[in-house]
Amino acid sequence: MNKKLSNNEIKTLPFMDSNLDLEKRVEDLLRRLTLKEKFTLCSGKRSFYTKPIKRLGIKSFKMTDGPHGIGPHSSNNAECTYFPTAICRTATWNPELSEQFGVALAQEVRDIEYHMILGPGVNIHRTPLCGRNFEYQTEDPYLNKKMAVPVVRGVQSQKIAACVKHYICNNQEINRFTVSSEVSERALQEIYLPAFEATVREADAWSFMGCYNKVNGIYGCEHKNLIKERLMEEWGFKGFVVSDWIATAKTTSTESCINAGLTLEMPMPIKYKKKKLNQALLEGKYTEETLNENIKRLLRIMFLTGLFDNENAIPPGSRNTPKHQALSRKIAEEGIVLLKNEDNLLPLNIDTFKKIKVIGPNADKEMGEGGGSSQVRPPYEITPLKGLKNKCRNKVQIVNSPSEADLVIIFAGLNHEKGMDSEDSDRDSFDLPSEQIELIKKTVQENPKTIVILISGSPINMVGWIENIPAVIEAWYAGQEAGNAIADILFGDVNPSGKLPITFPKKLSDSPAHVSTRTYPGNEKVYYDEGIFVGYRHFDTKNIEPLFPFGHGLSYTTFSYDNLKIDRKTISGDDKFTVSVDITNSGDRAGAEVVQLYVQDVECSVERPLKELKGFKKVQLDSGEKKTIVFELEKKDLSFFDEKTSCWKAENGSFNILVGSSSKDIHQKGEIEYIE
C-alpha cells in the first residue's frame, strides 16, 4: 500500500484512466491513500496550493484569487486581464455577459496553470458601508442568482473550478473574524441563501468557501447545518468546501470542522494538523468514513479540473488577449449607469464642446491593484483621463480652468484605500471626502455645465451637491478599459444601458441595517432585525424615498411599455403562467432597456415586501423598433418562506404583476388569482 510507485506504474492505475467513470476513479484513488496521506490533503501549503502526494502522482491543486481577475499575490505576480468588478458586471443585468466573463476568467486561470478561481462573491449588499460591496453583486436575491449561475457555468465549462463565496452572511468587514450574524430562517431562505443554492442546483458549483463570521452563534467553517445538512444533503452539492484563509483559527475543534463537512483548511493547517486529526480520530470524535467523504469531494474536483489528465484533454488557456480586453470593455459599457441627465446635457457633441476641463482625484487613478484579495495586475489600465484623451484627440482641447471650459468633468468617488472600498475594513463614511464635496460645489459655481462621474463600488451620499449638477454617472470600478468605456458613453458612441443593482439612499439612516449599533456594526453579534426587508424591499414597504431606486438607469433614448398580457386569470398548484409586454424604442437612437417584472402579494397572513423582482430581460432595440418580451412564472414566484411550517407557501388570493424600468418606475400592471 505504501510502496513508492514509478511514473510508469502510476499511469497504469485505474484512477489515471480518463475513460473510467468519475466516481470509480475517485473510489480507486481514495482506497490507495494511506491515513497519513488523507491528513496531508486536508490542508494547504504555500498559501494557495494543496500538498502533493508524490507516491501516487497527485500534484498540488492550485487556487487563485479573485472574483474579477487573477490576483498577482496568488499567481507569482502574473499580469492578467482586469475585468469590471462584480457590482459593475451585475449592473449590466446581462446574464450572457456574465457567462462570457466566466469563460474568459477561466481561460486566464488555465493559462497560469491553476485549477480554481476564488469567486464569484455573492454576498448580499446589506449595508452601503461594507468594504467589499464592490466584489459582490446586488441587494436582491433573484438578480443575485441570475447573475451568479452563468459565471459558475462559464468558469466550469473550461474545466476550472469556481469557488462560490463567502458562505454565508459575510455582509460586513468590521469584526468579520468574530461577529455572529444573527439572522432569521426566513431571511436566510428568502434573501441570503438563494444565489448560493442556485449555483449548486443550476450550475453544479464545484467548490464553496466557508466564511469567517459566525451564523447564529456557529462559525461558518464548522456549521454542520449550513454545510452538511443544507449544502450537501438538501441541495445535492458534490464539490468540496474550503475555509476562507485562516477562517478556522477560532473554530471550536478539529472534529467540529470535519463533521460539518469542511474538506480543506487554507492556507495552512491549524485545526487540521496531522497530530490533531489523528488524536481526534483515535478518540472517536469523528470517523474515517466521514474523513473519506470529505477527501472524496476534493478528489472529485481534482479529476474534473483535469489534474490527472493529459494536457491535450483539457481546454487551452489564454490571457490578456484582444478578445478578453474587448469583453472587459463591453461589460464596462453595459454596466456604467447614467443616474441623472438634466436638459439632455449628455451625450456630448464632439463638434460643440471644444474645451473640456477634467479634474478630480479619480481622473487619472489606476484601480486594478487595490482592494485586498481581489486586486489584479493588468498589462495596462485606461484611466478616465486617458480614455478622454483617446476620444478627444485633435478635436477637443483639455484645458486648465473650469471657467474657460465649455464643460467640466469631475471624476470623484472612492478608491481601494482602507476605510473606502477595501477588504478588511468597512467604509469610514457614507459621504464623499470633504475635499471632493468642496471641489464639486466650487466647480459648479464657476461652470454650471459640470458632470460628476463617480468611481466607486457602493452608494455614496450626494445630497447637498447633486441638486446643482446636471449630469451624474456611476462608473463603478470598470476594469482596465474603464476610461475608453466612459468616453464612449459621454460622447454617445455607446448608449448607456446599465441599471442599479442596489438602492442609493438619500441618507445612511434610511438604510435598513442602520437603525442602531445593534443592527450595524454590532459587537459580538450583529442583529439582522430588518429580516427580509433588505434594499428596495425596505424602501418600498416603509415608503422611504431613495436618492435613486433599485433598477434605475437612464438612456439617451426613450422606451414605451404597452399591452401587458397574462395568459390566464387564475392558477393553482404548480401551474406556470406567462406574462408578455410590448417594448418600443420611442426615441431617435438605438438602445437597450432592462425590462423588470415585480410581483406583489395583495393580501397575506405575514408581512411581505411591497414588491419583489421575479423576472428581467435586457432587450436591444433600434429607433422605432418594437419587441414583445415574455416571462414565465410559477408558484415559487408567488411564495414566501413560512417559518411555522418550514416550507415555501403561496396563499390563496390576488397577486399584482408589475412591469417597469425600475422598482419605482412601474409602467404596466396586471393581476392573477392563485387558488391552492
Q: Which residues are catalytic?
A: 244
Name which of 242, 302, 246, 221 is nearest 119 in CA terms. Answer: 242
- Give which of 112, 60, 120 is closest to 90, Cα–Cα: 120
| Spatial distance between the Cα atoms of 334 and 344, rounded to a whole number of angstroms | 20
Do 613 and 140 form a contact (C-beta atoms < 8 A)? yes
Sheet with strand 180-182: strands edge to edge? 218-219, 214-215, 180-182, 525-527
Among candidate residues 218, 101, 194, the one with its CA nearest the CA of residue 155: 101
Task: Please check whether residue 139 is in contact with residue 536, taking contact to mean a CB–CB distance below 8 angstroms.
Answer: yes
What is the C-alpha R_g of the chain? 26
671 φ, ψ (degrees, to nearest 5) = -140, 145
Amino acid at 313: A
Residue whose C-alpha is closest to residue 135's, from 334, 421, 521 = 421
Cα–Cα distance measured from residue 674 to residue 571, given in angstroms and rounded to the nearest whole number: 5
Q: Alpha carbon 663 to chain centroid distance? A: 20
Q: Report the 10 Å Cβ neighbour count for 508.
A: 18
Please give the Cα distance from 385 to 509 (Å, whole number): 35
- What is d(CA 215, CA 228) in angstroms, rounded to the nearest whole number? 15
Longest dimension (CA), the chain: 82
| Full DSSP string of 587-611 | SSS-EEEEEEEEEEESS-SS---S-
Relative to beta strand 355-359, strand 240-243 is: unpaired
**Beta carbons of 335 and 478 less than 8 angstroms apart:** yes
Q: Helix 95-111 and helix 141-156: axis angle, to 10°? A: 40
Q: In 3D, which of 273, 281, 285, 219 has the Cα closest to residue 251?
A: 219
Q: Grid cell 481581489 — which residue?
A: 374
Q: Is 487 helix (H, G, I), strand (E, B) or coil?
A: helix
Which spans in 85-131 are helix H? 86-90, 95-111
Contact between residue 511 and residue 505 where contact means Cβ atoms under 8 Å apart: yes
Instruction: Give the number of other Cβ atoms within 10 Å of residue 593's Cβ.
Output: 26
- Exposed/middle/buried for residue 15 (C-beta within 10 Å: 0-12, 13-18, 19+): buried
Tell me how far apart the alpha carbons of residues 608 and 665 are, in angstroms, rounded to a whole number: 20
CA–CA dist 280, 261 (Å, integer): 15
Q: CA 34 → CA 38, 41, 140, distances in Å?
A: 6, 11, 46
> Cis omega (within 30 of 0) on the bond before 168?
yes
Q: In a 3-state reduction of DSSP, which class is residue 5?
A: coil
